[in-house]
């Protein structure tokens, strides 16, 4: 009997009886498949994985022999304080600076209830599409104050059973907003957050600005996640400056560079030097195809570049690189559904990956971002991990990424939180024309 037949009893038993998912095919961290049963305890964590599990007699057995089972998807770069404000924040220029100015104006009046409502709606949408972990950058500056980070810190607690959520204190150096304010407030912001971040390219003093961020992170023992060089000007890059600080402040293995669009504008030899140093210092990367495709290269009259970083070179060269949604329906990105399978496809197509790298695109929304976020033993299909699982009707990892699933079930902490079935039209048996 399939899992659908057990749905009612599954809801009733969740958290009260152990659950055995029997006969499914699980996706390993490298994208390979293996047949294995999964036992989920009443604590919402995976108790055992294998083919000869000692199953408690009270366990509810669920036959999932037709299912491909993945750990939950990980979206490690969002902006939940900005999500869903598109109607209120026009960006006529379609540029990054236009988006910054539009949201800065809105942020002066956006209260905690507004932020909580919009963020909750997007998180629910993401969860229904299989995302069980999100890292959100949250503006902290003279415009937004602490409204966003305080509201999202509360949301992080109330959603803890359904989703793993991390917050980055995104210390914004708007022009004219002195760095003294950021320096005076970064510790308070970081106390509410899981990491610290910022955007050196718009700072009036990038060196001092990065010193403030890295020093605060080192003192708090928390990671750094920078919006780094989100532009295509090869003569204006902060990559070496940031890498110097990774080394000086001892932040190896605890630093992520998001965007780094400018890497694609550098000569190959210079880009390779940066790549090798990132590997040496264990610096991760995140590409954000939606934002980079939308915001970059509007000033190019011919052959506009895609605006992404060197995704293929970083991935093949050994840098741990993830992909993520970035903004969803706001002045930075007017579209977005929270579907990480969609973002994986965008990354493959826009990032110059090949068809035989679909499995790598899968890793960019699962094991790679989980590692960069430090989720460790809490993530994956392994004993002790949270039972955050996505069950699909796909044949393998490649078909999951290439076309998605017609039947998607999402478990968070061992509980079924969403089930989506694609209704297909009935066929009349007519043959499909040859070549169609």
pLDDT in tens, 204-240: 999 999 999 999 999 999 999 999 999 999 999 999 9
Evaluate if residue 8 carries a pLDDT over 90: no
Mean pLDDT of 146-150: 94
Q: What CATH number did the domain enclosing 99 receive?
A: 3.20.20.140
Give the residues across from 412 on adjacent strands. 415
Tell me what pLDDT residue 105 has. 86
**97 lies in some domain:** yes
Q: Which of 353, 376, 399 is the last residue of a domain?
A: 376
Distance CA 177, CA 183 (A): 11
% of the chain residues with pLDDT over 90 = 84
User: What is the count of structural domains for the chain?
Assistant: 2
Tell me what pLDDT residue 220 has. 98
**369 lies in some domain:** yes
**272 lies in some domain:** yes
218 and 202 belong to one structural domain: yes
β-strand 37-40 against 415-421: which pairing, if any?
unpaired
State the pLDDT confidence band at 424, using cuts at 50, 70 and 90: low
Evaluate if residue 174 carries a pLDDT over 90: no
Distance CA 100, CA 89 (A): 10
Alpha-carbon dihedral sign for residues 321, 333, 189, 175: positive
* Cα distances (Å, whole numbers) of residue 20 to 54, 178, 359: 10, 57, 27
Evaluate if residue 191 carries a pLDDT over 60: yes
Evaluate if residue 430 carries a pLDDT over 60: no
- Taking only the tens place, the pLDDT of each residue in 279-334 is 999 999 999 999 999 999 998 999 999 999 999 999 999 999 999 999 999 999 99
For residues 110 and 141, the answer to whether their CB atoms sit within 8 Å is: no
401 and 371 belong to one structural domain: no
Mean pLDDT of 62-71: 95
Q: Which token pair is 287?
A: 């590409």
Mean pLDDT of 388-414: 96
64 and 81 belong to one structural domain: no
Distance CA 190, CA 193 (A): 5
Mean pLDDT of 408-422: 93
Mean pLDDT of 348-363: 97
Q: What CATH number did the domain enclosing 15 receive?
A: 2.30.40.10
Write phi, then psi, for 368 (nearest 5 degrees): -65, -55
Look at 130-134, 157-161, 165-169, 173-177 and tell me which has the smallest mean pLDDT. Answer: 173-177
Evaluate if residue 163 carries a pLDDT over 80: yes
352 and 412 belong to one structural domain: no
**430 lies in some domain:** no
Tell me what pLDDT residue 4 has. 42
For residue 252, the tally of other CB atoms under 10 A from its CB is 12
Full residue range of the structural domain in which residue 134 is found? 73-376
21 and 89 belong to one structural domain: no
Look at 74-78, 145-149, 389-393 and tell me which has the smallest mean pLDDT. Answer: 145-149
**239 lies in some domain:** yes
345 and 394 belong to one structural domain: no
Evaluate if residue 406 carries a pLDDT over 70: yes
348 and 225 belong to one structural domain: yes
For residues 340 and 74, the answer to whether their CB atoms sit within 8 Å is: yes
- Return mean pLDDT, the chain: 92
Q: Which token pair is 137?
A: 């950058």
Evaluate if residue 431 carries a pLDDT over 80: no
**429 lies in some domain:** no
For residue 345, the tally of other CB atoms under 10 A from its CB is 19
164 and 312 belong to one structural domain: yes
330 and 402 belong to one structural domain: no
Q: Which token pair is 166?
A: 């991390």
**396 lies in some domain:** yes
Tell me what pLDDT residue 423 has. 72
Evaluate if residue 21 carries a pLDDT over 80: yes
Closest Cα partner for 113 from 147, 157, 163?
147
56 and 139 belong to one structural domain: no
* Cα distances (Å, whole numbers) of residue 165 to 31, 156, 194, 385, 425: 24, 6, 9, 16, 38
Residue the block writes with tokens 């039947």: 407
**428 lies in some domain:** no
Closest Cα partner for 24 from 56, 50, 59?
50
Degrees to nearest 5, angle at CA 408 with 407 and 410: 155
Tell me what pLDDT residue 195 has. 98
390 and 370 belong to one structural domain: no
Q: Which token pair is 150?
A: 């305080």
pTM confidence score: 0.93
For residue 370, the tally of other CB atoms under 10 A from its CB is 25
Distance CA 248, CA 238 (A): 15
Evaluate if residue 14 carries a pLDDT over 70: no
Evaluate if residue 148 carries a pLDDT over 70: yes
Mean pLDDT of 333-348: 97
State the pLDDT confidence band at 427, using cuts at 50, 70 and 90: low
Closest Cα partner for 212 from 240, 237, 180?
180
353 and 226 belong to one structural domain: yes
Mean pLDDT of 122-135: 98
């Amino acid at each position: 009997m399939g899992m659908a037949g057990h749905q009612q009893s599954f809801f009733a038993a969740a958290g009260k009886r152990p659950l055995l998912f029997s006969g499914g095919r699980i996706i390993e961290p490298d994208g390979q498949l293996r047949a294995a049963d999964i036992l989920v305890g009443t604590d919402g964590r995976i108790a055992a994985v294998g083919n000869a599990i000692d199953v408690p007699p009270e366990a509810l057995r669920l036959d999932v022999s037709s299912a491909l089972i993945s750990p939950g998807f990980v979206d490690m770069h969002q902006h939940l304080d900005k999500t869903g404000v598109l109607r209120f924040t026009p960006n006529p220029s379609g540029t990054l600076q236009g988006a910054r100015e539009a949201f800065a104006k809105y942020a002066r009046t956006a209260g905690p209830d507004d932020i909580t409502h919009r963020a909750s709606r997007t998180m629910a949408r993401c969860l229904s599409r299989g995302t069980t972990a999100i890292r959100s950058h949250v503006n902290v500056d003279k415009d937004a104050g602490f409204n966003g980070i305080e509201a999202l810190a509360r949301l992080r607690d109330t959603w803890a059973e359904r989703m793993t959520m991390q917050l980055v204190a995104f210390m914004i150096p708007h022009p004219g907003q002195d760095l003294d304010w950021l320096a005076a407030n970064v510790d308070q912001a970081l106390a509410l957050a899981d990491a610290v971040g910022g955007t050196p390219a718009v700072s009036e003093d990038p060196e001092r600005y990065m010193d403030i961020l890295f020093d605060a992170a080192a003192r708090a023992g928390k990671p750094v996640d920078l919006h780094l060089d989100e532009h295509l000007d090869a003569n204006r890059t902060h990559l070496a400056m940031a890498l110097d600080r990774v080394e000086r402040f001892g932040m190896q293995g605890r630093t992520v560079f998001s965007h780094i669009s400018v890497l694609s504008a550098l000569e190959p030899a210079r880009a390779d030097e940066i790549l090798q140093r990132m590997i040496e210092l264990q610096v991760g990367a995140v590409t954000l195809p939606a934002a980079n495709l939308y915001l970059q290269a509007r000033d190019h009259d011919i052959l506009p570049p895609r605006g992404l970083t060197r995704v293929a070179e970083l991935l093949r060269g050994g840098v741990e690189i993830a992909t993520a949604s970035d903004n969803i329906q706001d002045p930075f990105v007017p579209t977005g559904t929270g579907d990480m399978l969609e973002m994986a496809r965008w990354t493959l197509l826009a990032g110059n990956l090949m068809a035989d790298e679909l499995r790598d695109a899968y890793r960019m929304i699962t094991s790679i971002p989980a590692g960069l976020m430090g989720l460790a033993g809490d993530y994956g299909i392994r004993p002790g991990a949270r039972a955050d699982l996505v069950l699909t009707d796909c044949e393998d990892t490649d078909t999951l990424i290439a076309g998605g699933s017609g039947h998607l079930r999402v478990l968070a902490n061992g509980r079924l939180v969403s089930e989506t079935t694609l209704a297909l039209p009935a066929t009349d048996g007519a043959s499909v024309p040859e070549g169609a």
